[in-house]
Amino acid sequence: MDVRPNQTIYINNLNEKIKKEELKKSLYAIFSQFGQILDIVALKTLKMRGQAFVIFKEIGSASNALRTMQGFPFYDKPMRIAYSKSDSDIVAKLKGTYKERPKKVKPPKPVPGVEEKKDKKKKQTSAENANPNTQTEQPPNQILFLTNLPEETNEMMLSMLFNQFPGFKEVRLVPNRHDIAFVEFTTELQSNAAKEALQGFKITPTHAMKITFAKK
Protein backbone atom coordinates (compact mmCIF):
# COMPACT_ATOMS: atom_id res chain seq x y z
CA MET A 1 0.00 0.00 0.00
CA ASP A 2 2.96 2.31 0.47
CA VAL A 3 3.29 4.98 -2.17
CA ARG A 4 6.78 5.26 -3.59
CA PRO A 5 8.68 8.48 -2.73
CA ASN A 6 8.29 11.09 -5.45
CA GLN A 7 8.70 14.84 -5.71
CA THR A 8 5.04 15.61 -5.01
CA ILE A 9 3.69 15.62 -1.47
CA TYR A 10 -0.01 15.45 -0.71
CA ILE A 11 -1.19 17.40 2.35
CA ASN A 12 -4.60 17.11 3.96
CA ASN A 13 -6.36 18.14 7.19
CA LEU A 14 -5.75 21.78 6.19
CA ASN A 15 -7.90 24.54 7.62
CA GLU A 16 -10.78 24.94 5.14
CA LYS A 17 -11.55 28.52 6.16
CA ILE A 18 -8.29 29.86 4.70
CA LYS A 19 -8.57 31.56 1.30
CA LYS A 20 -6.89 29.65 -1.53
CA GLU A 21 -4.33 32.38 -2.35
CA GLU A 22 -3.34 32.87 1.29
CA LEU A 23 -3.09 29.11 1.76
CA LYS A 24 -0.75 28.76 -1.25
CA LYS A 25 1.46 31.65 -0.08
CA SER A 26 1.70 30.23 3.45
CA LEU A 27 2.53 26.76 2.12
CA TYR A 28 5.20 28.29 -0.12
CA ALA A 29 6.63 30.20 2.85
CA ILE A 30 7.07 27.12 5.03
CA PHE A 31 8.00 24.53 2.37
CA SER A 32 10.45 26.47 0.20
CA GLN A 33 13.13 26.00 2.91
CA PHE A 34 13.38 22.35 1.74
CA GLY A 35 14.20 23.07 -1.90
CA GLN A 36 12.91 24.55 -5.13
CA ILE A 37 9.13 24.33 -5.49
CA LEU A 38 7.78 23.94 -9.02
CA ASP A 39 4.18 24.59 -8.03
CA ILE A 40 1.55 24.35 -5.33
CA VAL A 41 -1.90 23.05 -6.22
CA ALA A 42 -4.76 23.90 -3.86
CA LEU A 43 -8.31 23.50 -5.12
CA LYS A 44 -11.36 24.79 -3.28
CA THR A 45 -13.81 22.32 -4.81
CA LEU A 46 -15.94 20.35 -2.36
CA LYS A 47 -13.96 17.16 -3.03
CA MET A 48 -10.54 18.84 -2.66
CA ARG A 49 -11.17 21.19 0.27
CA GLY A 50 -8.57 21.09 3.03
CA GLN A 51 -6.05 19.44 0.71
CA ALA A 52 -3.06 20.59 -1.32
CA PHE A 53 -0.19 19.25 -3.40
CA VAL A 54 3.32 20.72 -3.18
CA ILE A 55 5.52 19.78 -6.14
CA PHE A 56 9.26 19.97 -5.52
CA LYS A 57 11.96 19.83 -8.16
CA GLU A 58 13.87 17.09 -6.28
CA ILE A 59 12.58 13.95 -4.56
CA GLY A 60 15.02 14.59 -1.68
CA SER A 61 13.32 17.92 -0.95
CA ALA A 62 9.92 16.24 -0.82
CA SER A 63 11.19 13.49 1.51
CA ASN A 64 12.79 16.02 3.85
CA ALA A 65 9.64 18.17 3.89
CA LEU A 66 7.44 15.15 4.61
CA ARG A 67 9.58 14.02 7.54
CA THR A 68 10.11 17.48 9.03
CA MET A 69 6.60 18.95 8.65
CA GLN A 70 4.50 15.87 9.45
CA GLY A 71 1.96 16.93 12.10
CA PHE A 72 3.13 20.58 11.97
CA PRO A 73 0.39 22.85 13.40
CA PHE A 74 -0.65 24.90 10.37
CA TYR A 75 -3.47 27.39 11.01
CA ASP A 76 -4.22 25.46 14.23
CA LYS A 77 -4.56 22.06 12.53
CA PRO A 78 -1.81 19.39 12.35
CA MET A 79 -0.83 18.74 8.75
CA ARG A 80 -1.07 15.18 7.45
CA ILE A 81 1.48 14.63 4.70
CA ALA A 82 2.04 11.71 2.33
CA TYR A 83 3.64 11.18 -1.06
CA SER A 84 1.16 11.86 -3.84
CA LYS A 85 -0.36 8.80 -5.52
CA SER A 86 -1.32 10.70 -8.68
CA ASP A 87 2.19 12.02 -9.16
CA SER A 88 2.52 11.28 -12.85
CA ASP A 89 -0.50 13.33 -13.98
CA ILE A 90 0.06 16.43 -11.91
CA VAL A 91 3.82 16.51 -12.27
CA ALA A 92 3.68 15.85 -16.00
CA LYS A 93 1.18 18.66 -16.48
CA LEU A 94 3.05 21.05 -14.24
CA LYS A 95 6.41 20.23 -15.74
CA GLY A 96 4.83 20.85 -19.12
CA THR A 97 3.62 24.28 -18.10
CA TYR A 98 6.81 24.90 -16.20
CA LYS A 99 8.96 24.25 -19.27
CA GLU A 100 6.77 26.33 -21.54
CA ARG A 101 7.11 29.54 -19.55
CA PRO A 102 10.67 30.49 -20.60
CA LYS A 103 9.66 30.34 -24.29
CA LYS A 104 7.73 33.59 -23.89
CA VAL A 105 10.94 35.42 -23.04
CA LYS A 106 12.63 37.04 -26.04
CA PRO A 107 15.64 34.97 -27.09
CA PRO A 108 18.95 36.44 -25.90
CA LYS A 109 21.43 37.84 -28.43
CA PRO A 110 23.47 34.99 -29.90
CA VAL A 111 26.78 36.23 -28.43
CA PRO A 112 27.28 34.23 -25.21
CA GLY A 113 30.29 36.27 -24.09
CA VAL A 114 28.24 39.47 -24.03
CA GLU A 115 25.52 37.88 -21.90
CA GLU A 116 28.08 36.57 -19.44
CA LYS A 117 29.65 40.00 -19.10
CA LYS A 118 26.23 41.51 -18.45
CA ASP A 119 25.60 38.91 -15.77
CA LYS A 120 28.95 39.65 -14.15
CA LYS A 121 28.17 43.36 -14.18
CA LYS A 122 24.79 42.70 -12.62
CA LYS A 123 26.38 40.60 -9.91
CA GLN A 124 28.96 43.30 -9.21
CA THR A 125 26.36 46.04 -8.95
CA SER A 126 24.13 43.95 -6.72
CA ALA A 127 27.15 43.13 -4.54
CA GLU A 128 28.01 46.84 -4.39
CA ASN A 129 24.43 47.66 -3.46
CA ALA A 130 24.57 45.07 -0.71
CA ASN A 131 27.83 46.39 0.70
CA PRO A 132 26.53 49.58 2.34
CA ASN A 133 24.19 47.43 4.45
CA THR A 134 27.05 45.31 5.70
CA GLN A 135 29.09 48.36 6.64
CA THR A 136 26.26 49.81 8.73
CA GLU A 137 25.40 46.42 10.27
CA GLN A 138 24.09 46.82 13.82
CA PRO A 139 25.87 44.98 16.66
CA PRO A 140 24.33 41.57 17.51
CA ASN A 141 20.94 41.73 19.15
CA GLN A 142 18.44 39.01 20.09
CA ILE A 143 15.82 41.05 18.22
CA LEU A 144 15.87 40.93 14.41
CA PHE A 145 14.54 43.65 12.14
CA LEU A 146 12.90 42.43 8.91
CA THR A 147 12.35 44.62 5.85
CA ASN A 148 11.09 44.23 2.26
CA LEU A 149 8.16 42.08 3.37
CA PRO A 150 5.25 41.61 0.92
CA GLU A 151 1.89 43.22 1.55
CA GLU A 152 0.16 39.99 2.56
CA THR A 153 2.67 39.22 5.35
CA ASN A 154 0.99 38.32 8.61
CA GLU A 155 2.11 37.25 12.07
CA MET A 156 1.21 33.61 11.42
CA MET A 157 3.36 33.44 8.28
CA LEU A 158 6.43 34.90 10.00
CA SER A 159 5.93 32.78 13.14
CA MET A 160 5.87 29.61 11.02
CA LEU A 161 9.10 30.66 9.33
CA PHE A 162 11.01 31.59 12.48
CA ASN A 163 9.69 29.13 15.07
CA GLN A 164 11.69 26.33 13.43
CA PHE A 165 14.76 27.95 15.05
CA PRO A 166 15.59 27.35 18.73
CA GLY A 167 15.01 30.27 21.10
CA PHE A 168 12.18 31.83 19.07
CA LYS A 169 10.01 34.05 21.29
CA GLU A 170 7.69 36.22 19.23
CA VAL A 171 6.95 38.20 16.07
CA ARG A 172 5.98 41.86 16.37
CA LEU A 173 4.34 43.57 13.42
CA VAL A 174 4.39 47.34 13.07
CA PRO A 175 0.92 48.97 12.87
CA ASN A 176 0.18 50.48 9.43
CA ARG A 177 3.45 49.11 7.99
CA HIS A 178 3.17 45.77 6.18
CA ASP A 179 6.78 45.79 4.94
CA ILE A 180 8.65 45.63 8.28
CA ALA A 181 8.53 43.48 11.41
CA PHE A 182 10.57 42.47 14.47
CA VAL A 183 11.34 38.92 15.58
CA GLU A 184 12.65 38.24 19.07
CA PHE A 185 14.83 35.32 20.20
CA THR A 186 16.16 34.38 23.65
CA THR A 187 19.83 35.01 22.83
CA GLU A 188 21.92 36.84 20.22
CA LEU A 189 23.43 33.54 19.06
CA GLN A 190 19.99 32.12 18.33
CA SER A 191 18.81 35.25 16.51
CA ASN A 192 22.02 35.23 14.44
CA ALA A 193 21.42 31.59 13.38
CA ALA A 194 17.93 32.48 12.13
CA LYS A 195 19.26 35.64 10.45
CA GLU A 196 21.94 33.68 8.55
CA ALA A 197 19.51 30.93 7.49
CA LEU A 198 16.66 33.15 6.30
CA GLN A 199 18.59 36.11 4.88
CA GLY A 200 17.18 36.81 1.41
CA PHE A 201 14.40 34.22 1.89
CA LYS A 202 11.66 34.80 -0.69
CA ILE A 203 8.29 34.89 1.06
CA THR A 204 6.85 35.51 -2.40
CA PRO A 205 8.81 35.15 -5.66
CA THR A 206 9.25 38.95 -5.85
CA HIS A 207 10.08 39.80 -2.23
CA ALA A 208 13.43 38.69 -0.78
CA MET A 209 13.36 39.38 2.94
CA LYS A 210 16.19 41.52 4.35
CA ILE A 211 17.21 40.79 7.95
CA THR A 212 19.38 42.96 10.21
CA PHE A 213 19.86 43.17 13.95
CA ALA A 214 17.47 45.69 15.51
CA LYS A 215 19.03 48.86 16.92
CA LYS A 216 19.72 48.62 20.64
Handedness of CA 169, 21, 197, 137 (dihedral sign): negative
Whichever domain contains 175, its CATH number is: 3.30.70.330
Residues 125-144 pLDDT 10s: 554 454 444 446 788 999 99
Number of domains forming the structure of the chain: 2
Which pTM does this prediction carry?
0.47
Residues 43-91 pLDDT 10s: 777 777 889 999 999 999 999 999 999 999 888 899 999 998 864 455 5
Whether residue 122 lies inside any domain: the answer is no
- Cα–Cα separations (whole angstroms), residue 35 to 28, 55, 58, 60: 11, 10, 7, 9
pLDDT of residue 88: 46
Residue 155 domain boundaries: 143-213
Whether residue 112 lies inside any domain: the answer is no
Q: Given 60, 95, 130, which residue is the final one in a domain?
A: 95
Q: Are 42 and 20 a contacting pair, CB within 8 Å?
A: yes
CA angle 131, 142, 187 (to 5 degrees): 125
Say yes or no: 84 and 159 in one domain: no
Q: Given 58, 76, 95, which residue is the final one in a domain?
A: 95
CA angle 206, 208, 210 (to 5 degrees): 150
Whether residue 120 lies inside any domain: the answer is no
Whether residue 90 lies inside any domain: the answer is yes
